[in-house]
Structures are given as C-alpha cells and as structure tokens.
C-alpha cells in the first residue's frame, strides 16, 4: 500500500500500524486493508472521470465499512447478487447509486434489485429481459443497460476474458444479439432502456483495447439512433483496469486512462454526431488490490532437493486462490526482524492438502527464515477475502482496517463455531 513504510528494525508499518503488532493482537493469517489508500484511489478515479460515474465493483471486496467508504468518496456501487446488495443496504448505500450485474441473475436477485430501488440493471440475456418485464411493478419502469460483447480482446488470462464472443457474458454485437436485445427492450412499454454496457475482462493493461471497445459501443449507439430514433443516454465501459502485483510491474494510471477513454468517446461521438453519453467505469481491483496486504506466520521450513526453501505458512489457497486459478504471481517478504546473511530462492506454500497450494513459487527469503517468522504478501486487497473458502475447514482470516496509526476489524476471524453453525444434520 502507498502508506507502507519499512522500519529500521525490519518491521513494516501500514497506515502507521506495525504489522508485527497487528499479528500479535489479531493473529495470523490476517488481511490488512489501508483505508487511506482505498480512499486515495477512489479520488484518483473520480478526478480521472470528472463528468462521469465511477462505480466500484463490489465483487473485488465488500463489507459494510467498504461500502461506506465508497459512498463517502462519491462513487457508485456495482453489485452482482442479492447478497452483495444486502451488505450494501446494511451500510445504507443509496440505491440510486447502485447497478446490478450478472449473467444469471436469479429471480431472487432481480426482485431484490427492484424492491430496493437499484438504479440500473445490466441485462445479459433475452430470458432476463422477459423476466424483468414480468416482474416490473406497474409504478416504475426498470432502467436497463444491455451488456454488449463488443468483440475486443483485452489480452488477459482466459478465465477473466469477457470482451470476445464465445464466452458466457453479454450479447454479441457481431451476431446481432445485442441489437435484438435493444429491440426487445424498446418494444416493452414496461422497460426503460437507459444505455449500453461492455466489460472486456480483468487485469487488462492495454488502454488501446478499452479505446477500441469505446469506439464500437459509440458506433452501436449511433445505429440504435438510426434504427429506432432514440439515443440511450448512458455508456458503461466496465472495469478491468490492471494493477502491478510485484515490484516494477505496470498498472494503469487512472488519469491516463480517463483522458484516453474520454477522448475516444468524445471523438467517436463527434464522428457520429451523437451527444456525449454519461460515462460509467467500474473499477474493482484498481481501487482495492494494492491497499491490501496479508500477514502469515511461518509454520515450518523444508529444504527441497533443488536447493529451494519450502516455507509453509498458516494460510494458503483458502485465503488466496489466485495463484491456482490464474497463475497469479506475488511477492513475499519477511517482516519483524532484520535479515541476517543472504537470501535464498524459496517457495512460500500454504497449509492445504494439495501440492498446488503454492502462494509464491519464486520468492527470495532470508536463508535463516524459520518457524514463527512473519511474512507479508502485498497486493491482496482484491479478490482474496471475497474469494476465500473454508477448504479443509480452515476458518477465514479477518479483514483489519488500518488508518492513522489505528487498527480496527472490519470482518472478524471465523471461528470453529461459525463453521459448525451451518452444520445442521
Ligand atoms: N464490471 C464487471 C461487469 C465485472 O464483471 C468486473 C469483474 C468488474 C467490473 C471489475 O473488474 P476489475 O476492475 O476488478 O478487474 N477473480 C478474478 C477477477 C474476476 C473479475 C470479475 N469481474 C481475479 O481474481 O483476478
């Protein structure tokens, strides 16, 4: 995180709080979240899109405090389930600043969105359009965006590529499915088409791809005007803005992204003689990934025959499934004491019953790393706690907010009682 400071004794402080003190007080593993860092990134996105809307993608990480920070910083919120909506509501997040996503929203999700005044629903199938027309109350027409698959490849991991045809999200621009969805909504008096949406995928660092998508979407808006005589006012270009996970890795700078995306939309609109749409972007990872760090305690160390140290910690794939799912690569560093002697090639491995449970395969750690040492893995604020599991019935770690030298739990550590609560057989 931006406020991380190395101390002469080898400790690291984040938000003015020493990680050793956090570990001592709250135990390990623990997710530490730098509140000021989150807020700073919210403001950077707001500045980058001054006339647009920045909707934080709650799937990256959501709890009531996070929803309050997002609300206070003037962002909107993208939820993708009745569960995320329930947490947002518990934080009194305003419905008029929420939108709902999902390729398979259940009737329960849709009803929750309609009941709670979620401003916009992003429709992703013909079935959903029909379902919404049936569910729509007589008093208010649901406001819809059509999720368009623009046929633009963001060149990221296949599991998080969503801008191309053939994957499960969106209605294809190329096949005409998107145009058909627009027709069906416009033909439904009970539904209100307010715009278009696309999302290319996640952890994308190629701004050209976002610009290409923006141009295609504007061209589609122009076609809708030509065919139907209406111009839906909103254009939502999704999220997916990449961040650097390890030292020296590039991430997208929000200011550059904002300039280029707004420029591309402005030019394309001028070319088609369209009024400028109200732009939305939906960053998740770019808001919260780098604000998080996970602290683990070393449980055991082995020497592999290839000379590497196998450093096993008290967490693993249950708190960070990303290396296993996407080949994601992290750094790990010793905190809390100075490193004596040289460093060694090491694999930081988890505690779970799978050989694939490797957190950092290519770490460098002090040769004398030993049980009891603390390791910090940076850049774990997005898609870690939100994707955590109870594999091997390991309780999920807490999320602790640090700010101005203080630490407070946002989500407490899971207990064995929590695990047993649902076991009702
Ligand atoms: N908007 C939509 C419609 C999305 O589906 C997503 C992410 C976002 C915005 C936010 O994307 P972001 O800015 O965070 O990249 N679990 C994966 C990432 C899955 C992303 C899913 N959708 C990972 O850990 O890399």
Q: What is the largest CA-CA distance in the chain?
A: 73
Does residue 331 form part of some domain?
yes
Active-site residue numbers? 353
CA dihedral angle for residue 213, residue 173, residue 279, residue 219, rounded to 10 degrees: 80
Does residue 316 form part of some domain?
yes
Q: How confident is the model at residue 36 (pLDDT cuts 50, 70, 90)?
A: very high
The pLDDT assigned to 226 comes to 98
**Domain final position from 263, 283, 303:** 283
- Taking alpha carbons only, the member of 75, 50, 44 closest to residue 60 is 75
Q: Residue 118, exposed/middle/buried by CB under 10 A (0-12, 13-18, 19+)?
A: buried
Query: Which residue from 53, 57, 167 has its CB within 8 A of the most atoms of ligand 1, so it is best to mutate?
Result: 57
- Give the percent of the chain with pLDDT over 90: 96
CATH number for position 384: 2.40.37.10
How far are the Cα atoms of 96, 193, 361, 375 from residue 230, in angstroms, in the given order? 23, 10, 54, 57
Q: According to the annotation, is 326 in a ligand binding site?
A: yes
- What average pLDDT does range 1-21 have in this prediction? 95
Give per-residue pLDDT as tens, 41-65.
Answer: 999 999 999 999 999 999 999 999 9
Domain holding 78, by residue range, is 49-283
Question: Are 99 and 26 contained in the same domain?
Answer: no
Question: Are 180 and 272 contained in the same domain?
Answer: yes
The pLDDT assigned to 321 comes to 98
Question: Are 208 and 303 contained in the same domain?
Answer: no
Q: What is the pTM of this model?
A: 0.98
Question: Are 82 and 223 contained in the same domain?
Answer: yes
In this structure, are residues 251 and 244 in contact, taking their beta carbons and an 8 Å threshold?
A: yes
**Sequence-ordered strand ranges (E) for 46-204:** 53-57, 76-79, 98-100, 120-123, 143-149, 171-172, 192-197
Question: Are 68 and 136 contained in the same domain?
Answer: yes
When divided into structural domains, the chain yields a total of 2
The pLDDT assigned to 340 comes to 76
Q: According to the annotation, is 282 in a ligand binding site?
A: yes
Establish whether residue 101 lines the binding site of ligand 1, counting it when its CB lies within 6 angstroms of any ligand atom.
yes
Give per-residue pLDDT as tens, 261-277.
Answer: 999 999 999 999 999 99
The pLDDT assigned to 219 comes to 98
Rounded mean pLDDT of the chain? 97
| Residue, of 341 and 61, whose pLDDT is higher | 61
**Domain final position from 283, 317, 346:** 283
Does residue 42 form part of some domain?
no
Count of residues making up the chain: 425
Question: Are 264 and 400 contained in the same domain?
Answer: no
Question: Are 236 and 382 contained in the same domain?
Answer: no
Q: How confident is the model at residue 314 (pLDDT cuts 50, 70, 90)?
A: very high
Does residue 93 form part of some domain?
yes
Q: How confident is the model at residue 131 (pLDDT cuts 50, 70, 90)?
A: very high
In eight-state DSSP terms, residue 425 is: -
Question: Are 191 and 95 contained in the same domain?
Answer: yes
Checking if the pLDDT of 342 tops 90, the result is no
Q: According to the annotation, is 322 in a ligand binding site?
A: yes
Question: Are 411 and 326 contained in the same domain?
Answer: yes
Establish whether residue 60 lines the binding site of ligand 1, counting it when its CB lies within 6 angstroms of any ligand atom.
yes
Distance CA 110, CA 176 (A): 25
Question: Are 267 and 157 contained in the same domain?
Answer: yes
**Domain final position from 233, 252, 283:** 283
């Amino acid at each position: 995180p931006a406020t991380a400071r190395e101390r002469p004794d080898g400790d690291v402080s984040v938000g003015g709080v020493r990680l050793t003190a956090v570990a001592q007080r709250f135990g390990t593993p623990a997710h530490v979240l730098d509140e000021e860092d989150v807020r700073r990134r919210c403001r950077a996105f707001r500045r980058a899109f001054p006339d647009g809307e920045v909707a934080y993608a709650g799937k990256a990480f959501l709890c009531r405090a996070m929803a309050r920070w997002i609300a206070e910083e003037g962002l909107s919120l993208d939820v993708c389930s009745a569960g995320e909506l329930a947490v947002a509501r518990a934080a009194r997040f305003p419905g008029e600043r929420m939108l709902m996503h999902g390729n398979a929203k259940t009737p329960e999700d849709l009803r929750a969105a309609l009941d709670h005044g979620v401003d916009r629903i992003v429709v992703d199938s013909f079935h959903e359009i029909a379902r919404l027309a049936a569910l729509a109350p007589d008093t208010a027409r649901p406001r819809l965006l059509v999720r368009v698959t623009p046929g633009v490849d963001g060149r990221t991991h296949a599991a998080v590529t969503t801008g191309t045809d053939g994957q499960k999200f969106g209605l294809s621009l190329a096949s005409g499915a998107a145009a058909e969805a627009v027709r069906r909504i416009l033909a439904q008096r009970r539904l209100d088409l307010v715009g278009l949406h696309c999302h290319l995928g996640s952890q994308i660092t190629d701004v050209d791809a976002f610009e290409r998508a923006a141009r295609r979407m504007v061209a589609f808006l122009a076609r809708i005007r030509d065919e139907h005589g209406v111009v839906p006012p909103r254009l939502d270009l999704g999220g997916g803005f990449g961040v650097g996970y390890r030292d020296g890795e590039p991430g997208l700078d929000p200011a550059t992204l904002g300039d280029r995306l707004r420029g591309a939309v402005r030019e394309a609109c001028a070319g088609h003689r369209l009024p400028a749409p109200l732009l939305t972007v939906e960053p998740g990872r770019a808001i919260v990934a780098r604000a998080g760090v996970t602290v683990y305690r070393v449980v055991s160390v082995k020497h592999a025959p290839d000379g590497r140290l196998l450093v096993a910690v008290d967490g693993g794939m249950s708190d960070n499934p990303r290396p296993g799912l996407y080949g994601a690569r992290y750094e790990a560093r010793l905190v809390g004491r100075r490193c004596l002697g040289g460093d060694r090639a090491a694999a930081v491995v988890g505690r779970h019953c799978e050989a694939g449970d490797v957190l950092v395969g290519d770490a460098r750690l002090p040769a004398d790393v030993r049980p009891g040492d603390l390791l910090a893995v940076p850049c774990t604020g997005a898609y870690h706690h939100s994707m955590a599991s109870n594999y091997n019935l390991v309780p999920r770690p807490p999320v602790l907010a640090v700010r101005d030298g203080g630490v407070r739990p946002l989500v407490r550590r899971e207990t064995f009682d929590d695990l047993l609560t649902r076991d009702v057989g």
